[in-house]
Chains A and B, each alone.
Chain A
Amino acid sequence: MTRFILPLIAFAVLIPVLMIGLTRNPNELPSPLLQKPAPIFELPSLTDPAQTVGSASYAKQMVLINVWATWCPGCRQEHGFLLELAEESAVPIFGLNWRDNRPDALRWLQTLGDPYVASAYDEDGRVGIDWGVYGAPETFLVDADGIVIHKHIAPLTREIWERDFVPLINEHGGNK
């Protein structure tokens, strides 16, 4: 009898394990940056190459860092929501324009609207690597102490914002 029961038990254990595996999205990797200090960076501003945008631009306040590029369809998808968010939320949005080219990126902001306080221009992707970026759009929530408290991969929507970001922002006191 055991020759049937043992394989049956093994099968019964394996099926739920594999089923859980199926429900997970392999493109959403947990970020090792979570609960750690956000990478320090300084890059030329997208809109004005003579200016710099970086960690110093948002010190001591809670911010969103949104990684975007004009070649990224998901960024186009979330753009409308980012504009709404920039209007209504107390948390400023900084852009990290990743591996893009300046004329395209500027045209994008002119035609679609600019939700960003400022965008850093990461032409060669060096800063993107420090942030562990592997696919735009990615959105980081950094608290006033400069700690990364959340990372969202894929386009941001109101639903995700209210579910994942708002509770964390309230918990950390938001911006006074």
Chain B
Amino acid sequence: MKILVAFCLTVAAALPAVAIDTGQAFEDPELQARYEKIISEVRCLKCQNQTIKDSNAFLAGDLRREIRNMIAEGKSDAEIADFLVARYGEFALYRPRVTGKTLFLWIAPGIFLLGGAIVLWRILQRRMTMPIDDESPEEA
């Protein structure tokens, strides 16, 4: 058991060694934070369930490079998002912007939550009006 725990800890400790995007892109911690936030919200189009931060596909590397350059040029987050959407479509953003096309994506969780709440409320209401006619087995 101890050996297993030790093994797991060793593997966990070694994980940063397999990180895809190694090294600091920016000296300025604020720019670095922005960079990391953006690349963790852009889809790798080649490996669609990964972000470009997690992917080692060369396309992901190319996109990281372009985003790095754009941040260095002083482009805003919105301009960077526009750049990606103009080339790859809304699908490239893991956090799609609120537009006519993506509106349903944004409001759907609210609709489902509301639907669930209504169903729950109706069930509870029915239960509360039911007569309590069962007796607990201990008393029987």
Judge whether B89 and A31 touch: CB under 8 Å. yes
Query: Which residues of chain A have C-beta atoms less than 8 A from B45's C-beta?
Result: 29, 134-135
Question: How distant is A148 from chain B, measured CB to nearest CB, in Å?
Answer: 12
Residue tally, chain A, CB below 8 Å to B? 18
Q: A129-B66, A135-B46 are in contact. Are A30 and B89 (CB under 8 A)?
A: yes
Interface residues of A in 14-45 (CB under 8 A from B): 26-27, 29-33
Query: Which residues of chain B have C-beta atoms less than 8 A from A31's C-beta?
Result: 89
Interface status of B120 (Cβ within 8 A of chain A):
no
> Nearest B residue to A26 by beta-carbon distance?
B48
Interface status of A130 (Cβ within 8 A of chain B):
yes
Interface status of A162 (Cβ within 8 A of chain B):
no
> Nearest A residue to B115 by beta-carbon distance?
A10
Give which listed residue, A29, A126, A135, contacts B89 with CB less than 8 A. A29
Query: Which residues of chain B have C-beta atoms less than 8 A from A30's C-beta?
Result: 89
Query: Which residues of chain A have C-beta atoms less than 8 A from B91's C-beta?
Result: 29
Q: A26-B48, A124-B62, A125-B59 are in contact. Are A131 and B87 (CB under 8 A)?
A: yes
Interface status of B14 (Cβ within 8 A of chain A):
no
Question: How distant is B39 from chain A, measured CB to nearest CB, in Å?
Answer: 14
Q: Give CA–CA (A128, B62) in the complex, Å.
A: 10
Judge whether A134 and B46 touch: CB under 8 Å. yes
Query: How many A-B contacts are there with CB distance less than 8 Å?
Result: 40
Question: How distant is B116 from chain A, measured CB to nearest CB, in Å?
Answer: 13
> Nearest B residue to A134 by beta-carbon distance?
B45
> Nearest A residue to B66 by beta-carbon distance?
A129
Query: Which residues of chain B have C-beta atoms less than 8 A from A32's C-beta?
Result: 85-89
Judge whether B58 and A99 touch: CB under 8 Å. yes
Q: A29-B91, A129-B66 are in contact. Are A134 and B85 (CB under 8 A)?
A: no
Q: Give CA–CA (A26, B91) in the complex, Å.
A: 11
Interface residues of B in 24-76 (CB under 8 A from A): 45-46, 48, 58-59, 62-63, 65-66
Question: How distant is A37 from chain B, measured CB to nearest CB, in Å?
Answer: 11
Query: Which residues of chain A have C-beta atoms less than 8 A from B85's C-beta?
Result: 32
Query: Which residues of chain B have C-beta atoms less than 8 A from A173's C-beta?
Result: none
Interface residues of B in 73-98 (CB under 8 A from A): 85-89, 91
Interface status of A167 (Cβ within 8 A of chain B):
no
Question: How distant is A173 from chain B, measured CB to nearest CB, in Å?
Answer: 28
Q: Give CA–CA (A26, B46) in the complex, Å.
A: 11
Question: How distant is B15 from chain A, measured CB to nearest CB, in Å?
Answer: 28
Query: Which residues of chain A have C-beta atoms less than 8 A from B88's C-beta?
Result: 29, 32, 132, 134
Q: Give CA–CA (A132, B86) in the complex, Å.
A: 8
Apart from A32-B86, A99-B62, A126-B66, what 8 extra A-B contacts exist at CB < 8 Å? Answer: A29-B91, A32-B85, A124-B62, A126-B62, A129-B62, A129-B63, A130-B87, A134-B46
Rank and list the top 9 A-B pairs by shortest CB-CB distance, nearest first: A134-B45, A132-B87, A125-B62, A32-B89, A132-B88, A134-B46, A134-B59, A29-B91, A135-B46
| B residues in contact (CB < 8 Å) with A | 45-46, 48, 58-59, 62-63, 65-66, 85-89, 91
